[in-house]
Amino acid sequence: MPDLPPIRERFGCRPDTLPLDELLADGQPVVLRGIARSWELVEAAQGDAAGAMAYLRGFDNGRQVPYSYGPPEIGGRPYYNEDRTALNFEVRRGTVSQVLDEITAHLGDPAPPTYYLASLLVDESLPGLRARNDLDFAAHGLQVRPSIWIGNRVVASCHHDVPNNIACCVVGRRRFTLFPPEQVGNLYPGPLELTPGGQAVSMVDLAAPDLARHPRFAQALAHGQSAVLAPGDALFIPSMWWHHVEGLEPFNVLVNYWWGSMPAWVPAPMAAMYHAMWSIRDRPESEKQAWRAMFDYYVFGDAAQAGAHLPPQARQALAPIDENLARQLRAMLLARLNR
């Protein structure tokens, strides 16, 4: 893959001065160089992987957790089999310490098996770790539960997440390649249901793109950005941005923070997309265009415009959605779907 323009960088940030409001207002990815450099886990990893592993073992509560295992043949990329009908790895269970033992046994292998603890909630399996390894989301009135990602040279294929994300590289280096949301059609997303990690991933192998098979990926590359994060660096990934993540060392650890921009009573939009696929996608083109106009007016347009000509007491679903209205809408939708 050709070199891409660098992701914009910001220096001088600290865990207690997280510039969250500025990041959200800007809506663009930013590397926060050194923001987690003072974390104890980052410092423990300065010597070698053994120091970081010893530090993590000190917080292991023995909880059995799921992790991904793949044979050496998958090259560190949890993905699909050839016909995309099954995944190329299996899910096993063990403690964090057991996974660290497995990784240690293959640190010197040129082609090791893949071991990956993905999106493990820190407070549940490594209680106490956050005391000296955390970003100050509470200063923004947010209670965000971080996740930890532990593995060897694992590649997380290009995908998107609905929440905003700050990913902190704490052990090893990671390369991030990002694409804006509007490049979805040029990234050739795979199955929606069978996925390596919960979200559809690009069918393009970014390590060796096949432009004969995926010609539109050339257009995505024209909009791509990339950065290599060192331990202590973090990356702000705005909602819905596609990101491809490569662990570059024999042992890598990342801590990330996902948080939404909407209150809890507003659901994630994926269910609405499935419903629209079911009810609109296969209609005649003239009907689809008519529904496009309806969605533009009621959903994607100015939220206040659709009901502005009605008295407040008559607006119902056209009014701003609060918790009470959200419950009414949910009950109405369930009743209609269950007819």
My answer on whether 145 and 188 are in the same domain is: yes
Distance between CA 238 and CA 258 in Å, rounded? Answer: 10
Rounded average pLDDT over 295-321: 91
Q: Is residue 264 a part of any domain in this protein? A: no
pLDDT, tens only, 145-167? 999 999 999 999 999 999 999 99
User: 224, 259, 294 — which closes off a domain?
Assistant: 259
- Which positions ≥6 away from 176 have C-beta within 8 Å? 7, 167, 226, 227, 228, 229, 235, 237, 243, 244, 245
CATH number of the domain enclosing 56: 2.60.120.650
Which pLDDT score, from 0 to 100, does residue 43 have?
95
Q: Is residue 296 a part of any domain in this protein? A: yes
Which pLDDT score, from 0 to 100, does residue 205 have?
96
My answer on whether 236 and 333 are in the same domain is: no
My answer on whether 19 and 105 are in the same domain is: yes
Distance between CA 21 and CA 234 in Å, rounded? Answer: 16
My answer on whether 274 and 202 are in the same domain is: no
My answer on whether 21 and 91 are in the same domain is: yes
pLDDT, tens only, 253-282? 999 999 998 888 899 899 999 999 999 999
Q: Is residue 4 a part of any domain in this protein? A: no
Radius of gyration in angstroms for the set of CA atoms belonging to the chain, rounded to a whole number: 22
My answer on whether 244 and 282 are in the same domain is: no
Which pLDDT score, from 0 to 100, does residue 275 have?
94
Q: Is residue 265 a part of any domain in this protein? A: no
- Measured CA to CA in angstroms, residue 296 lies from 213, 290, 302, 306 at distances of 34, 10, 9, 10
Distance between CA 84 and CA 190 in Å, rounded? Answer: 9
Which pLDDT score, from 0 to 100, does residue 2 have?
74
Burial class (CB in 10 A: 0-12, 13-18, 19+), 229: buried
User: 200, 235, 259 — which closes off a domain?
Assistant: 259
User: 192, 226, 259 — which closes off a domain?
Assistant: 259
My answer on whether 63 and 84 are in the same domain is: yes
Q: Is residue 2 a part of any domain in this protein? A: no
Segments forming the whole domain that contains residue 159? 9-259
pLDDT, tens only, 93-149? 999 999 999 999 999 999 999 999 999 999 999 999 999 999 999 999 999 999 999
Could you please report the per-residue DSSP string of 223-256? T-EEEEEPTT-EEEE-TT-EEEEEE-SSSEEEEE
Q: Is residue 133 a part of any domain in this protein? A: yes
Which pLDDT score, from 0 to 100, does residue 10 have?
96
Which pLDDT score, from 0 to 100, does residue 261 have?
86
Q: Is residue 206 a part of any domain in this protein? A: yes
Q: What integer best gives the mean pLDDT of the chain?
A: 95
My answer on whether 285 and 145 are in the same domain is: no
Question: Percent of the chain, pLDDT > 70?
Answer: 100
My answer on whether 302 and 192 are in the same domain is: no
My answer on whether 19 and 148 are in the same domain is: yes
My answer on whether 226 and 275 are in the same domain is: no
- Which positions ≥6 away from 3 have C-beta within 8 Å? 226
pLDDT at residue 173 is higher than 80: yes
My answer on whether 193 and 103 are in the same domain is: yes
Q: Is residue 1 a part of any domain in this protein? A: no
Which pLDDT score, from 0 to 100, does residue 339 have?
83
pLDDT, tens only, 35-50? 999 999 999 998 789 9
Per the structure, how many domains does the chain have? 2
Which pLDDT score, from 0 to 100, does residue 15 have?
93
pLDDT at residue 1 is higher than 90: no
- Name 67's bridge partners: 92
Which pLDDT score, from 0 to 100, does residue 48 have?
83
Distance between CA 88 and CA 68 in Å, rounded? Answer: 10
